[in-house]
Amino acid sequence: MHFLDQAKIYVRSGWGGGGAVGFRREKYIEYGGPDGGDGGKGGDIIFEAVPGLNTLIDFRYTQHFRAQRGHGGSGSNKTGAGGDDLVIKVPVGTQILADDDERTVLADLTKVGQRLVFLKGGDGGRGNASYKTSTNRTPRQHGTGWPGEEAWVWLRLKLLADAGLVGLPNAGKSTFINAVTNAQAKVGAYAFTTTRPQLGVVRHKNNEFVVADIPGLIEGAAEGAGIGDRFLGHIERCKVLLHLVDANDEDVATSYRIVRDELDAYGAGLTDKQVIVALNKIDTLDDELIAALSAELEEASGAPVIPISGASGVGVDWVLDKLLEAIGEEHERVADDDEGEETVEWSPI
């Protein structure tokens, strides 16, 4: 399945049905009169976050979504049936953005089953029975139904993961995620082997958490160099970042700083997240060199460095322990922040 994390679509709610013009005419009934019913309401446009989806590829081929129009009223004061709502199913983590600037977030669907009435259908028109007055006993006017709402919007997917992998190309991120999860990321001895984000589920010590791997960053990614920084949005929601540095790089401190500078240039609080630094591919080095490189990287990052090898598994359990610990701490912090706060349902309408 192809991965697509952005799509532009057109949505329109249903028009209201027209009111009816009718008059009561029955045998043996002395008095008649207007009996035209109201029109039905148009269908709403509803977005729903569903499990099992991790791409917006379906919206590449279907880009126009229109809800059903309300049915017209009829005689005997019968109100027309309402139009069916149109439910648009999107992956969890999908944001809906305004078309004019592609920055204004109109909605953010972050939970399974979350539903949002994005556009409301138009109300039905009035039938002629509702226009009857003491001076107008046989009205023939009626409402045609109110128009629905329409909009062009951008859908942007930000994958939901507990931990995110960052690093230069060929830092060993794909090898690591393949070793600890059920992912099958492509591995190759060339830059940008990973061209799209990957998700994997880690099962460690009777716990599960989700790891996201994004394409490698190079110097100038914020200005569009390489694949650029467009995939960094997929780690904005991560609770902790695992920064992998290739032990075979000429200068591990510089490799670390390049990625950190790009995260800082991107913003969105990425440099404020807890980071675990790991020196990867140590299976190719001796103990003395590993110690020297770890010390150099620790001085540059200001954090403890874990020597690992995704290929051989050395140090991997240690890293998973640290990730699990950080994720647990973040869960507790969020729970404390939310305690006592009232949850308010939000809608752009």
Annotated binding-site residue? 310: yes
Annotated binding-site residue? 282: yes
Annotated binding-site residue? 70: no
Annotated binding-site residue? 79: no
Instruction: Say how far apart CA 116 and CA 119 lie, in whole Å.
Output: 9
Q: What is the pLDDT of residue 154?
A: 94
Annotated binding-site residue? 311: yes
Annotated binding-site residue? 186: no
pLDDT in tens, the chain (349 residues): 467 888 999 999 999 999 999 998 877 777 788 999 999 999 999 999 998 888 898 998 899 999 999 999 999 899 999 999 999 999 999 999 998 877 789 999 989 999 999 999 999 999 999 999 988 988 999 999 999 999 999 999 888 888 988 888 888 888 888 888 876 665 555 455 555 777 888 888 888 888 888 877 777 766 666 565 667 888 888 889 999 999 988 899 999 999 999 888 888 888 888 999 999 999 888 889 999 999 999 999 888 999 999 888 889 999 999 999 888 865 455 445 555 554 444 444 3
Annotated binding-site residue? 309: yes
Write down the H helix ranges in the chain: 58-61, 173-180, 252-266, 287-301, 316-338
Annotated binding-site residue? 169: yes
Annotated binding-site residue? 188: no
Q: Which residue has the tokens 């009934």?
A: 29
Annotated binding-site residue? 297: no
8 A C-beta contact, residue 5 and residue 197: yes
What the chain holds in terms of domains, given with CATH numbers, is 6-157 (2.70.210.12), 163-338 (3.40.50.300)
Residue 6 main-chain phi, psi, to 5 deg = -145, 140
Annotated binding-site residue? 139: no
* Contact partners, residue 45, CB within 8 Å, separation at least 6: 11, 12, 13, 65, 67, 85, 86, 88, 117, 118, 119, 149
Predicted TM-score (pTM) of the model is 0.74
Instruction: Say how far apart CA 6 and CA 95 lie, in whole Å.
Output: 10
Annotated binding-site residue? 110: no
Annotated binding-site residue? 32: no
Nearest in space to 240 (alpha carbons), one of 298, 167, 327: 327
Annotated binding-site residue? 286: no
8 A C-beta contact, residue 147 and residue 40: no
Annotated binding-site residue? 205: no
Q: What is the pLDDT of residue 169?
A: 85
Q: 79-116, pLDDT tens digit by residue?
A: 999 999 999 999 999 999 998 877 789 999 989 999 99
Annotated binding-site residue? 283: yes
